[in-house]
């Protein structure tokens, strides 16, 4: 008897814990004799390619992978099948909707269900494909923790740990040199990584996109460290942070088919603003960048990823298509994809975590 096929893919930026999800799906599926798991290489690109780049996933090729960072299936953020970038002879790019071809190819291959492990953008694609009739289930991933409908995405806590470890190192050198250290973290339009790191590390200032800052207030907080005898200060800034009335620090990616804005480098702008606003201390900047996404996932993300994987396959058995796995109130459940993508998970500036940070003496520059 031919086995039913479930196809797994990882899309968007990579994230610690992706392999734990893949392994969780495979291990749970092995308990059902009539299912075989397949993996598409580089998100939907593997299916769209001719010949298709799709591999069988089994106990052997997924053994022990939950410990490893990255994704054994590779990933891309240039492969939206609904808006697929094609380079023309003159170098210009046109986008084509390949969703019909994609669904047809999946049918021809005999795929019963697809599990799409990805962030906000990937789950928007999942919802569109679901509306076009594809049996699809979403698994929320991103270090940014900006996906709604789940208390946490896997990968976030590993990123916070990496950022905190780096922050701790910057504190000692800031102290030795009486410097102001600015550490920039990722997160896109959400300040989750920055806020958690600022509390964990004990920053003096935390600048996040949700709370625009007044540079004079930041300087006031920094200067107070020098007048009160501490003589050094540590700032965490989220890559999407902006001054009051200003914009986030964005760059053109210059990469063909890259649909997102590129953030990164705001630490240098802040450094300049601090000097112009009268900060007398020496300032150094550290942009953590992709280290936050690399390496081994911490135990929590291995566990969350593994639970998400098992749950995703169980949702296939239950035919819960058009739904996303979710972690809510310390439990694993599922919610409609439409709900998950309807809003962005910003930090509520009235949330207790913000109040607690202020209580600890962290300035948001507002």
The residues annotated with a catalytic role in the active site are 144
Least gap, CB of 18 to ligand F6P (angstroms): 12
Structure letter (DSSP) for residue 141: B
Q: Which of residues 209-248 bind ligand F6P (CB under 6 A)?
A: 239
293 contributes a contact to ligand F6P by CB under 6 A: yes
Query: What distance in Å separates the CA atoms of residue 191 and residue 189, rounded to the nearest whole number?
Result: 7
186 is a contact residue toward ligand F6P (CB under 6 A): yes
Tell me the C-alpha distance between 100 and 121, whole Å.
19
What is the nearest approach in angstroms of ligand F6P to the Cβ of residue 242?
14
Q: Minimum distance from CB of 115 to ligand F6P (Å)?
A: 20
Q: Nearest CA to 17 among 169, 198, 152?
A: 152
Asked if 306 touches ligand F6P (CB under 6 A), the answer is no
Residue closer to ligand F6P, measured from CB, 293 or 320: 293
Q: Say how many C-beta atoms besides its own lie within 10 A of residue 214's C-beta.
A: 15
Q: Which of 28, 128, 188, 196 binds ligand F6P (CB under 6 A)?
A: 188
Which residue's C-beta sits nearest to ligand F6P? 186
- Say if residues 240 and 248 touch (Cβ distance below 8 Å): yes
- Report d(CA 178, CA 363) in Å as an integer: 19
Is position 162 an interface residue for ligand F6P (rule: CB under 6 A)? no
The least CB distance from residue 192 to ligand F6P, in Å, is 10
Burial of 300 (0-12, 13-18, 19+ CB in 10 A): middle
Residue 155 in contact with ligand F6P, rule: CB under 6 A: no
Contact between 13 and ligand F6P by CB under 6 A: the answer reads yes
Residues that contact ligand F6P, how many (by CB under 6 A): 12
Contact between 48 and ligand F6P per CB under 6 A: no
**143 near ligand F6P, rule: CB under 6 A:** yes
- Residue 77 touching ligand F6P (CB under 6 A): yes
Using the contact rule CB under 6 A, the part of the chain among 46-54, 81-89, 140-148, 279-287 near ligand F6P is: 140-148
Eight-state DSSP code of residue 211: B
Task: Based on the shown chain and the rule CB under 6 A, indicate whether residue 187 belongs to the binding site for ligand F6P.
Answer: yes
Report DSSP letters for 54-111, one per residue: EEEE-HHHHTTGGGSSS-TT---SS--TTSEEEE-TTS-EEEE--HHHHHHHHHHHTE
Cα–Cα distance between 206 and 5 in angstroms, integer? 47
Between 186 and 205, name the residue whose CB sits nearer to ligand F6P: 186
Stretches 52-60, 97-105, 184-192, 219-227: which one binds ligand F6P (CB under 6 A)? 184-192
Alpha-carbon distance 117 to 140, whole Å? 6
Does residue 48 contact residue 84 with C-beta atoms inside 8 Å?
yes
Site track for ligand F6P across 251-290, x = CB under 6 A: ------------x---------------------------
Residue 125, H or E segment: helix 120-131
Beta carbon of residue 224, minimum distance to ligand F6P (angstroms, whole number): 31
Burial (0-12, 13-18, 19+ Cβ within 10 Å), 32: middle
Note the residues at the interface with ligand F6P (CB under 6 A).
13, 77, 119, 142-144, 186-188, 239, 263, 293
């Amino acid at each position: 008897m031919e086995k039913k096929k479930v196809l797994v893919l990882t899309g968007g930026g990579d994230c610690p814990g992706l392999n734990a999800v893949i392994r969780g799906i495979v291990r749970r599926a092995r308990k059902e004799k009539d299912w075989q798991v397949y993996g598409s290489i580089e998100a939907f690109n593997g299916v769209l390619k001719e010949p298709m780049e799709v591999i069988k996933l089994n106990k052997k090729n997924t053994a022990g992978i939950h410990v490893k960072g990255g994704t054994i299936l590779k990933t891309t953020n240039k492969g939206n099948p609904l808006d697929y970038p094609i380079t023309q002879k003159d170098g210009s790019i046109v986008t084509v909707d390949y969703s019909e071809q994609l669904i047809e190819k999946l049918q021809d291959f005999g795929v019963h269900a697809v599990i799409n492990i990805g962030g906000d953008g990937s789950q928007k694609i999942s919802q569109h494909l679901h509306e076009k009739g594809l049996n699809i289930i979403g698994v929320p991933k991103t270090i940014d923790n900006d996906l709604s409908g789940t208390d946490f995405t896997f990968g976030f806590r590993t990123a916070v740990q990496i950022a905190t470890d780096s922050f701790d190192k910057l504190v000692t050198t800031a102290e030795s040199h009486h410097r102001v250290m600015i550490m920039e973290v990722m997160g896109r339009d959400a300040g989750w990584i920055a806020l958690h790191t600022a509390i964990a590390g004990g920053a003096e200032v935390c600048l996040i996109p949700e709370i625009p800052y007044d540079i004079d207030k930041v300087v006031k907080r920094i200067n107070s460290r020098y007048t009160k005898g501490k003589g050094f200060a540590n700032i965490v800034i989220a890559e999407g942070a902006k001054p009051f009335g200003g914009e986030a620090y964005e760059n053109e990616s210059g990469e063909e088919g890259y649909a997102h804005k590129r953030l990164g480098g705001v630490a240098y702008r802040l450094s300049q603003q601090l000097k112009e606003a009268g900060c007398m201390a020496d300032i150094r900047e550290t942009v953590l960048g992709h280290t936050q996404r690399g390496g081994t996932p911490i135990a929590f993300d291995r566990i969350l990823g593994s639970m998400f994987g098992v749950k995703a396959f169980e949702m296939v058995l239950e035919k819960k298509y058009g739904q996303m796995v979710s972690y809510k109130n310390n439990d694993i459940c599922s919610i409609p994809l439409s709900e998950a993508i309807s809003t962005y998970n910003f930090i509520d500036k009235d949330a207790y975590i913000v109040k607690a940070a202020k209580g600890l003496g962290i300035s948001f520059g507002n």
